[in-house]
Amino acid sequence: MKKGRISILDHELVPDHEVLDEAEIAELLKRYKIQKEQLPKINEADPAIKEIKAEVGDVVRIRRKSKTAGKSLSYRLVIE
């Protein structure tokens, strides 16, 4: 019997990760009045980053479930 590949993103403890497009990045930076390099960083070797095929320089939105806020959004810049 052949085993299928399991995605780490399917695990209940791994938050949703998604790569932002250029328009979303521009809006994010404008909203917070920051430069891209001022965002918190995440390494390209991170398993979730590998899974979504994000590249160095991409900005990733991470959605976590929060008991107090309902959901929590954070953003990370992918680095080497």
Where do the structural domains in the chain lie, given as residue ranges? 16-79
The whole-angstrom distance between residue 80's C-alpha and the CA centroid of its chain comes to: 15
| Total-model pTM | 0.84
Contacts of 46 (CB under 8 A, 6+ apart): none
Q: 24-38, pLDDT tens digit by residue? A: 999 999 999 999 999
Distance (Å, whole) CA 42 – CA 55? 11
Render each residue's pLDDT in the chain as its tens digit; 80 residues.
456 677 878 777 788 999 999 999 999 999 999 999 999 999 999 999 999 999 999 999 999 987 887 889 999 999 99
| Domain spanning 16-79, CATH architecture | Alpha-Beta Complex (3.90)
